[in-house]
Amino acid sequence: MAVMRLGYLHARVTNLAEAKRHYVNTLGMQVVLEQDNRLYLKCWDEWDHHSLMLEEGGVGLIKLGYKVAKAEDLAYFEQKIEAFGVRTTRMSAGENLAVGEGIRFTMPSGHLMELYHEMEFTNTAVGLVNPPLFPRHLVGVGVPRLDHCLLKTDDIPLAERFCIEALDFKPAERLVSELGDTGELMGTWLFCQHKTHDIAFVAGEQGRIHHWAYKLENWDAIRHAGAILSMDDTSVGFGPDIHGLSRGDTIYFFDPAGNRNEVFAGGYETYQDFPTVTWTADEIPRAVSYIGREIAENHFTVDT
């Protein structure tokens, strides 16, 4: 019984052609399907049908799809989510293109989430028999895989408690105003299986998203990504740098609609017995930007 990963993310973009240029030409995602003002995309190392759906009109998050390990996990989580006091509805196979049945609910943080177990298998770009290390002809950054998202909420403790109690997530790292009982929770980074984090929350308006992230191979891939982003005139938020919180190498940047993306590498592996790490507010500079310790203002103010 477990949530496995962020499987798909639906977002709005102001202009689909511009978005396509960004996600396909610059980031190197592959177009799975384009129809009715919707663009379905996947990364080269993902085996499911798609991981990103972009819809023209506006900006920001539409919904998140997290994939569970077993068919029976749907009923298991449905019960736990309802027990937490959150209404769920059943979704039918096909309501989302290529996705099986599942459950749908709005998290206490105001974000629409779907849990599902099946998505059409369309294989990675390298295949399953004697695969090459990576596709011989990668495009742009060549992102291998969708990784995690950081969401905003006006009640971080509630959002965290929901993920722990209803979804069996566990906090890998927590940011508090100070140590001890009077410390206020300012952010939480949670994992469901083994990632450094699969979902995270910081303070802000309900339902907003700070960024979604792609996992790259290492610090050199971050450098290469940064060079491509600059060549393609992509707006960079900040980076490259290392997060003290997660040990992840990072660059933040914006798609043409203003949605923030991240390329992320490194970070440690988590397990069910991972001992939660605590960061205190006075160490936010190192937590966010370990080397530079200067964080661009936009990082705290811009979301979609």
Q: Which residues are catalytic?
A: 148, 197, 211, 243, 252, 262
Tokens of 288: 């966010």
State the Rg of the chain over Cα: 18
**Is residue 12 close enough to count as binding a copy of itself by CB under 8 A?**
no
Residue 72 touches a copy of itself, criterion: CB under 8 A: no
CB 138 within 8 A of CB 57: no
Site for a copy of itself in 210-229 (CB under 8 A): 215, 217-220, 223, 226-229
* Distance in Å, CB of 240 to a copy of itself, minimum: 6
List 84, 115, 266, 303, residue binding a copy of itself (CB under 8 A): 266
CA distance 232 to 25: 9
Among 151, 202, 279, 303, binds a copy of itself (CB under 8 A): 279
The least CB distance from residue 190 to a copy of itself, in Å, is 15
Q: Assess 170 for contact with a copy of itself (CB under 8 A).
A: no
Least distance to a copy of itself, CB of residue 146, Å? 12
Question: Does 177 interact with a copy of itself (rule: CB under 8 A)?
Answer: no
Task: List residues bridging with 113 in a β-sheet.
Answer: 64, 105
When asked if residue 181 is in the footprint of a copy of itself (CB under 8 A), the reply is: no
Q: Are strands 112-116 and 60-68 parallel, antiparallel or unpaired?
A: parallel
Question: 36 or 121, CB closer to a copy of itself?
Answer: 121
Query: Is residue 228 classed as helix, strand or coil in its secondary structure?
Result: helix
299 in contact with a copy of itself (CB under 8 A): no
| Residue in the structure block whose two tokens are 């749907």 | 74
Rounded to the nearest 10 degrees, how much is the dihedral formed by the CA atoms of 203, 204, 207, 212? -70
Interaction between residue 122 and a copy of itself (CB under 8 A): no
Three-class HEC string of 233-297: CCEEEEEEEECCCCCEEEEEEECCCCCEEEEEEECCCCCCCCCCEEEEHHHHHHHHCCCCCCCCC
Strand partners, 150: 200, 211
Tell me if residue 86 falls in helix, strand or coil.
coil
Distance CA 100, CA 202 (A): 31
Segment lying near a copy of itself (by CB under 8 A), choices 27-35, 55-63, 84-92, 267-275: 267-275
* Distance in angstroms (rounded) separating the CA atoms of residues 106 and 198: 17
- The span from the first CA to the last CA of the chain, in angstroms, equals 32
How many chain residues interact with a copy of itself (CB under 8 A)? Answer: 68
Question: Is residue 92 close enough to count as binding a copy of itself by CB under 8 A?
Answer: no
Stretch of 36-44, 52-60, 85-93, 129-137 contacting a copy of itself, by CB under 8 A: 129-137
| Binding residue (CB under 8 A) for a copy of itself from 18, 292, 300, 302 | 292
Paired tokens of 13: 């973009």
Shortest spacing between CB 18 and a copy of itself, in angstroms: 18
The residues of the shown chain that bind a copy of itself, judged by CB under 8 A, are 2, 4-5, 45, 47, 67, 69-70, 121, 123-124, 128-134, 136, 145, 179, 193-195, 215, 217-220, 223, 226-231, 236, 238-242, 244, 247, 249, 251, 266, 268-269, 271-280, 283, 286-287, 290-294, 296
